[in-house]
Structure 1
Amino acid sequence: MATAEERVPSAARDMRAHAAAFVARVTRNRLPLDYSVASLRVVDFLIDGLRKGGADPERARGPLVGLGAYVGEVLVRRAGAVWVDFDADQRAYFGQTAGVRMPDGRVWNPLGKVHNRFATGGTEDSLQTFYLTLHGRARRVVA
């Protein structure tokens, strides 16, 4: 029998599965999304391609959510983060229902970071740079 926690819908609980489904779809095209830090450069490239292809934010919504879930899962696997449901204040601030909590307790919004990269297209919003300059990472690689 499911516990009360398992019966309550959880955006955080769904993110790992969402990332895996997204990777399964896009790796059929031989894109190197292997949850490595280096693969975040591919994420930057994919987002830039959506922008250059003229995708409007609504049409790009599905791929951007998939990419955001993927970035979050890289943080989980490589930086020691855990998926968390945002509380009401965090949802209002971030505009998302879930994010990640780092080992030092900091909370980050990978879906929002992906949306920012799409909106600005600027190198200052690079997802690879985001990871490399991220505060609160674990020093060890999490498999």
Structure 2
Amino acid sequence: MTTEQETRPRAAARPARWAADTVVTMREGARLRLDYSASSLWCVDRMIDDLRREGTPRAAVESVLRGFGAYAGEVIVRQAGAEWWTADGEHRIRTADGQLWDPIDEAHRRFAGDGSLRLLCRDATAGTP
């Protein structure tokens, strides 16, 4: 077993938990059902847009953005058979073609007004049958 294979479960544990917590929070708090589908990312992008339009301070939504990014990452994992990878404390998705994607950063970019979790998923899963 290689080192990468040994660290894989640890790499996925945190972001998978953040995603699951986000699903529960959105269901209970916002009455929004997130089903790990690519189309559900439309709703996530809109939720981030709403937070930005309301003038919510970034510091107040750091964990929310992390959760939304992790949720988008889990969508990519499930759609493309990708895996979570971690380096230097950062969590990214690695698709079968070897590309690295950063859905958590993309959630922050969306909050800043530039970026889309829906489009990131589309691009990351483009080569998936």
Please, what TM-score do these two structures have when normalized by structure 1? 0.76
Assess if the C-alpha contact under 8 Å between 1:40 and 1:128 holds in 2: yes
What's the counterpart of residue 110 of structure 1? Answer: 103
CA RMSD of aligned residues (A): 2.1
The aligned amino acid for 1:12 is: A
Give the corresponding residue for 2:43.
42
Note if 1:101 corresponds to 2:101.
Answer: no
Tell me what 2:53 maps to: 52
Q: How far apart, in 2, do the equivalents of 1:18 and 1:58 lie?
A: 17
TM-score (norm 2): 0.84
Find the structure with the greater CA-based Rg: 1
Structure 1, residues 21-67: CA drift from partner, whole Å, max 9, x if none? 11111112321311000001011101001101111111110110110
- Equivalent residue runs for 1:1-143 within 5 Å: 10-28=10-28, 29-86=30-87, 91=88, 97-119=90-112, 121-122=113-114, 125-134=115-124, 137-139=127-129
Equivalent pairs counted in the alignment come to 122
The alpha-carbon deviation at position 105 of structure 1 amounts to 0.9
Q: Tell me if the contact between 2:23 and 2:33 (Cα under 8 Å) persists in the aligned partners.
A: no
Q: Distance in 1 between matches of 2:11 and 2:57?
A: 25
CA separation of 1:110 and 1:137: change in aligned 2, threshold 3 A: farther
Identity %: 39
Q: Which stretches in structure 2 are left out of the alignment for 5+ residues?
A: 1-5
